[in-house]
Amino acid sequence: MKATATALRATALVLAGALLCGARARAGADELPAEPAAGVAEARLEASAGLELFGPSYRIQAVTVRGNRKTARSLIMRDLLLHVGDLVTAGDPRVAEARVRLLSLGYFLDVRLSLEKGAARGDVILVVEVVERGTLILNSIFLGSSEATSFWGGLDGSDSNFLGRGVGVGAAFVIGSEPEVDGASGLQQAYRLRVSDPSFVGSTAEARVELLYNRAVDFYRVSGRGSDGAPANFRGFRYSRVGGALGLGLDLSRTSRMAAGYRFESVGADLPDAPTQSFPDGSEARVDLGLLPGRTTVSSLTGAFELDTRPDPILPRSGTKLAFTGEWAPRLLGSSYDFAKATLSFEKWLRVGRRGALGLRFGGGIIIGEAPSFDRFHVGDLTRLVAARRLGLVMSTEPARDFFGTDIDRQRYGVLAGLTSVEYAHRLFRRSGHLFGGDLFVGLGVFGLSDADHLRVRDRDLAQALPVDLTFDVGLRFDTYVGVFELSLGNTLGRLPF
């Protein structure tokens, strides 16, 4: 059994270094395919928004859509902005805006608008030519190994244009082997199902539904120094989560969006009696497991706001992203856990030379009240050098590296978190086809994580008492037909004890 676990661990480590762990859906291409050959149209409408109207006006007699083998015509017409009977000119800004709106759907690699002669003088046929992209996206590949969990694997995939109707459908799963930690038995499992409708009951609001199920194991330290992440220093306990979330999102402009929702989960925890940790000096302390025993509930209201001006959110070279999320779980909503949580992040990209880009990131979060452990900040959320949670599952007992000697290796969960980082990305290539682009990136940052007890009981001011550490990463990032993939040093080190 031990030999099998060792072999699995070795295999997973090799794969984790050769495969990537994070994939995200692409929202647009930095460079679009070449323009189709001329001759289809008498007048090509390629004007940019803001140009003054000029020249003769034409009445749109009909609209023809070409190239939509999968996407429903009604879906294209909904975001076209131009309709039969409208008057257009060669400099009509609605043409450029319609093209941007159709591209922003994420269903097309290119969109071209042109005019053909109509049946009568002054009448034209508006031709919309689209080049469809694959909307079946591999969002994430979950693959790794640690001393505590010899192997875990899973996938997260979605189709943003299911059956050509513009409905998004996604599913994800992760399965981890039985942890090699006392008290932890059985496989870890997590499943997600997501459905979204970008035009809910014909409106401009997007409706989202997510269902989840987790059969999880978590670990708590019973002995050893904070820097020693050996599984023998930990005990495990099981808990489960089942529930989901409902939400509505609304585009405020082409670059800003807000959302609100409701979340409900039923949590069942089988907790050990009086869990304690023994320290090297012989003293003991009670351990907060972050969960209530038996069957409990999480019932909360959620909200979010996002402003994103990056032309390419996957391989960005310029622009800004600002994001805020908030959650309130009061007892008056029936929640067993009474807490409020807020996160704020800011990202700014600047061009550096002909091929380079510099990204500056700032982020932080705070939790007030008693949140369950799976809603608290985890060290793997902040640094690439520790295995991240996968769909809420904790797979490793490894602590933060504690390069600065601030005792952050004692922090696995926290209610106060922050991250500041800088990343340089060098463009290797951009092209059409199945491999859209590739970047070489180097990142360096500092993060902090602290729990409530550490903040309350301290002999230094808050700024000095906050445990902080260094994080870094270097690797390759590729934008492909089925998603964005990374091959990085951080993905490998996050699965290796050192």
- In a 13 Å sphere around the CA of 143, the CA atoms on its Cβ side amount to 21
When pLDDT is cut at 50, 70 and 90, the band that residue 22 belongs to is very low
When pLDDT is cut at 50, 70 and 90, the band that residue 167 belongs to is confident
Q: Which tens digit of pLDDT belongs to each residue from 110-134? A: 888 888 888 888 888 889 998 877 7
DSSP 3-state of 93? helix
Average pLDDT of the residues of the chain: 83
Lowest mean pLDDT, pick from 31-40, 457-466, 477-486: 31-40
Specify the pLDDT at position 1. Answer: 40
Specify the pLDDT at position 312. Answer: 81
Specify the pLDDT at position 494. Answer: 59
Cα 142 to Cα 161: distance, rounded to the nearest angstrom: 24
Q: Which tens digit of pLDDT belongs to each residue from 377-409? A: 999 999 989 999 999 999 999 999 899 988 899
Q: In the predicted model, is pLDDT for residue 210 greater than 50?
A: yes
Within 348-422, residue ranges assigned H as helices are: 379-382
When pLDDT is cut at 50, 70 and 90, the band that residue 475 belongs to is very high
Specify the pLDDT at position 302. Answer: 98
When pLDDT is cut at 50, 70 and 90, the band that residue 28 belongs to is very low
Percent of the chain topping pLDDT 90: 49
Q: Are residues 489 and 475 in contact, defined by beta-carbon separation less than 8 angstroms? A: yes
Q: Are residues 442 and 267 in contact, defined by beta-carbon separation less than 8 angstroms? A: no
Q: Which tens digit of pLDDT belongs to each residue from 432-464? A: 777 888 999 999 999 999 987 766 655 556 555
- In a 13 Å sphere around the CA of 105, the CA atoms on its Cβ side amount to 38
pTM for the predicted model, two decimal places = 0.77
Q: Which tens digit of pLDDT belongs to each residue from 314-371? A: 889 999 999 999 999 999 999 999 999 999 999 999 999 999 999 999 999 999 999 9
Parallel, antiparallel or unpaired: strands 123-132 and 58-66: parallel
> Which tokens hold the place of 286?
């009670």
Domains of the chain: 2-30+134-493 (2.40.160.50), 43-132 (3.10.20.310)
When pLDDT is cut at 50, 70 and 90, the band that residue 56 belongs to is confident
Residues near 203 by beta carbon (within 8 Å), at least 6 away in sequence = none
- In angstroms, how far is the first alpha carbon of the chain from the final one? 24
Specify the pLDDT at position 185. Answer: 87
